[in-house]
Chains A and B, each alone.
Chain A
Amino acid sequence: MPQVTISNTCASTGTSGAAFGLATTKAKKFKDYYTRELILGSDTSREAFKISENPVYAKIAYIHIENSGAEDAHITVDSGGNLSHHRLPAGQVWEHWNTGFWNNGSGANPDTIDGINVVGKTGITETTVKVTVFI
């Protein structure tokens, strides 16, 4: 059975070092999901998830990141080596369907998402985000 592996090297409380395997028979069936709550410290980048290798990242269907804490969080999207930065205010949600094209500047040569990091706001002790990835 084809499988996409979503890894997570986040070192915050309760989330260290784990790797996850989500099985799917076809890409983007939207039948399984991975979810994780991350605690973010000031200026400390956490790996929300990273797709193991090309081309299995295409099996990712949908990404949902909720900032359930009281402070802003920042999202960094890695697509083909290009980083796209996004702000996620407290209490709000960032959503993206992984249709396959995303980058931070070139509409002519877009890429898919390879991984996403999240980071807490400077000077803030911590905030919490909930990351859900559907395949």
Chain B
Amino acid sequence: MAVNITSNYNGTTDDGTVVSDSVITTITGDVNQPMRYQCTVGTSAEMVLDYSTTKGFAQAEQGVTSYVRIVNRDDSNNCKIIVRGSGGTKTYTLILAPNEWHTIHGFDMSTGSGAVPTWENITQIDAQFDNAPGTIEITAINLA
């Protein structure tokens, strides 16, 4: 089952060069090769998870939900990760120290409260380095 992941990378390098790129990666197997993105200072490399396909990354289905593992591949700087839900208002934020990682499942955001809340899809993951350029690595695992 194919899953499309669109990576939008926009920023300005230290010498003032404006960088803009958009890459669509289609995963057809169970595990995609790790994708690495260079982030400039203070800007975000946005990982837009496209679930417009029939059975996309974030489609909720018990037992077959796909997920991503995001790794901070920089050796000296922390990276801020911002995870956004499909409702447009919910986010959660975490910091990855050098070479730390975190797993994010496609159906991973609560819209309510209580022991068993209502869920919404993950649609976007942003990565940001505040002090120096750094590299993030994202591995998408498609279990659908």
On A, residues with C-beta under 8 Å from B are: 43-45, 71-72, 74, 76, 83-97, 99-107, 110, 117, 119, 121-122
Contact = CB atoms under 8 A, between A and B. Distances in A.
- The binding surface of chain B is classed by DSSP as strand
A101 B102 CA distance: 13
A119 B103 CA distance: 19
Contacts of A121: 116
Interface string B87-117: 0001111111100111101011110010111
Contacts of B91: 104-105, 107
Contact of B95 (A95, A100, A106, A117): A100
A89 B63 CA distance: 6
Given A89-B65, A89-B107, A97-B101, 16 more contacts: A43-B116, A74-B116, A76-B115, A85-B113, A86-B108, A87-B105, A88-B105, A89-B63, A89-B64, A97-B97, A99-B78, A99-B95, A99-B96, A101-B94, A101-B95, A103-B93
A102 B96 CA distance: 10
B55 interface: no
B62 A89 contact: yes
A93 B65 CA distance: 12
B37 interface: no
A110 B101 contact: no
B67 interface: yes
B96 A97 contact: yes
25 contacts: A74-B115, A84-B92, A85-B109, A85-B110, A85-B119, A87-B105, A87-B108, A87-B119, A88-B105, A89-B63, A89-B64, A92-B103, A95-B69, A97-B100, A97-B101, A99-B94, A99-B97, A100-B95, A101-B80, A101-B95, A102-B92, A103-B93, A105-B90, A107-B91, A110-B95
